[in-house]
Amino acid sequence: MTLPVFKKHDPPAVLAPMAGISDAVFRRICVEHGCDFTYTEMVSAKGLFYGGRKTRALIRVSEAEKPCAVQLFGSDPGIISEMIKALADEYAGEIAMIDINMGCPMPKITGNGEGSALMRDIPRAAAVAEAAVKASPLPVSCKFRKGWDDNSVNAVEFARAMEESGVSLLTVHGRTREQLYHGPADWDIIGEVVSRVGVPVLGNGDVFSGEAAKKLISHTGCAGVMVARGAEGNPFIFEEIRAALDGRPYSPPTEYERMTEAIRHTEEFLEEKGPRLFPEMRKHLSWYTKGMRGSLDFRRAVNTVRSPEEMLELLRSFRDQLVCGEAGEKTL
């Protein structure tokens, strides 16, 4: 890996920017479990330009992750340029890279010609990238997909255009926009991009275990892996990935340890964001408890709690039930 921002391990395992999921609290927890680098949630350049408070709040960097990357999305080169200059100045020392999102598949993003819609307009995408590189004193990276759909797989062409625009790092998600997050990721296309460009490439898609990360790197020759859904409810995956890449054995957390982390995550979320936003933790708790005994009943219950105190009480009670269940099994 040639970029100095990835200074912990080579190859690195990084946390993907996920809107509404990878906030500063979750990113900090992932770093503590071995994540090498983080990105803010996807931030609207236009929202920053017009002074949106909610947009600005997304750029909150914890001490544990400094410096990280800010991921911007937008299709206006002028606005992208101006916002990058402002961010680099305001967050000097806190951010190490600017990432441009050209892969988000959501209709509210693509409908404005942003995100993965830029893969259908390479000249526009190149103009955005060139403006970003020219404006930024920091390295600029770009995240994109296999293509728009199976009839327009253009990841290699797109990657070469980004490299020619001065982008220092590419991240390829091995699915088309049409696929959203369904079906298997195409690792072959990631390998094709790696072989056709001279800048580092991160592989993204279907990294749900340490072994998968190892196989992705071996299969594609990518410089590192980006983990998205594999980290949901499982920040421990970064420890697992590092063990796999280092050839060390790995012992997964017990259900008690997973629930203890879920409780800690909830407590830190409430401390940072305030009790009013406690419903946002429901999705995380659903992921933490996936596959556990009684998790279906737990998820039903957590979706009905009306206060953060009830949520924490339910979490602790569920953890205690798991411990009692484990004790009972050992006496059989």
Active site residues: 104
Q: Residue with structure tokens 């909610």?
A: 54
Query: Cα separation of 224 and 216, whole Å?
Result: 9
Q: Are 216 and 185 in contact (CB under 8 A)?
A: no
Angle at 33 (CA atoms; ends 30, 37), nearest 5 degrees: 50
Nearest to 319 by CA among 255, 249, 235, 253: 255
- The dihedral region occupied by 16, where left means phi > 0, alpha psi between -120 and 50, and beta the remainder, is beta
98 DSSP 8-state letter: E
Give the count of beta carbons closer than 10 Å to the beta carbon of residue 291.
8
C-alpha 315/C-alpha 307 separation (Å) is: 13
Structure tokens at 28: 């900090």
Contact (CB, 8 A) for 58 and 38 = no
Strand order in the sheet with 95-102: 13-15, 224-227, 201-204, 169-176, 140-147, 95-102, 68-73, 43-44
Could you give the CA distance from residue 191 to residue 269 in angstroms, rounded to a whole number? Answer: 38
